[in-house]
A and B are shown apart, each in its own frame.
Chain A
């Protein structure tokens, strides 16, 4: 079984400042990693995913994440945030080898302050 820990439940940041949302996971097998964004009263939208290859993954809206196997982390970063980035962000994992279940963290609410 795997688990996902998002270390910060809320992150306030000023507009145009950089941001990092932290995600650590625990699993006894190799995993795929995902970041989803949820805007208020909407569904989840896939930001980016790591399946294999380069550990630095670029996603939509200027976000990127780096997979660190030794630290079992998959932190999400953006060099300069915009007001429209205010949302809740979820990290998720699934086991390789055909597992369809996503295990989600509890989410991090990003508030961008003008």
Chain B
């Protein structure tokens, strides 16, 4: 029974390139959340998705960032034209329902922009 799977674990991109981060939720979980952890900071909420729907993207930067959770396949967090300030750990979590009782987190993708 695999947990929340994120890949890649580490991603290096040059400034201006695109970064695509993938998250497969736990089996039976249909709610996915993305969080970002900047150095020396706690995790900050970015976006909440259900299959084919974005429920809340209030934590997403207005430009360059997008997220999807298609009917088939993993959830994708896409960052276009990356800048150095995007360097962070990006964590995905999933839950079977609304998530107010807590989630299961993946191991994260550590993005480094050079």
User: What range describes how many residues of A lie at the interface?
Assistant: 20 to 34
Report the minimum CB–CB distance from A59 to chain B (whole Å). 12
Report the minimum CB–CB distance from A48 to chain B (whole Å). 10
- Interfacial chain B residues near A96, Cβ < 8 Å: 100
Pick the interface stretch among B41-49, B62-70, B78-86: B41-49
**Total chain B interface residues with beta-carbon distance under 8 A:** 29
A107 touches B100 (CB 8 A): no
Is B22 close to A, CB under 8 A?
A: no
Is B72 close to A, CB under 8 A?
A: no
Interface string of A23-34 (1 = CB under 8 A from B): 000000000101
- Interfacial chain B residues near A100, Cβ < 8 Å: 31, 33, 48, 55-56, 95, 98-100
A49 touches B101 (CB 8 A): yes
How far does the alpha carbon of A96 sit from the alpha carbon of B102 in the complex, in Å? 11
Given contacts A43-B105, A43-B108, A90 and B43 within 8 Å (CB-CB):
yes
A106 touches B41 (CB 8 A): yes
Choice from A44, A98, A103, A106 contacting B100 with Cβ under 8 Å: A98
- Interfacial chain B residues near A74, Cβ < 8 Å: none
- Interfacial chain A residues near B107, Cβ < 8 Å: 41-43
Interface string of A92-103 (1 = CB under 8 A from B): 101111111111
What is the interface of chain B, defined by CB distance below 8 A to chain A? 4, 6, 31, 33, 35, 40-45, 48, 55-56, 59, 91, 95, 98-108, 110
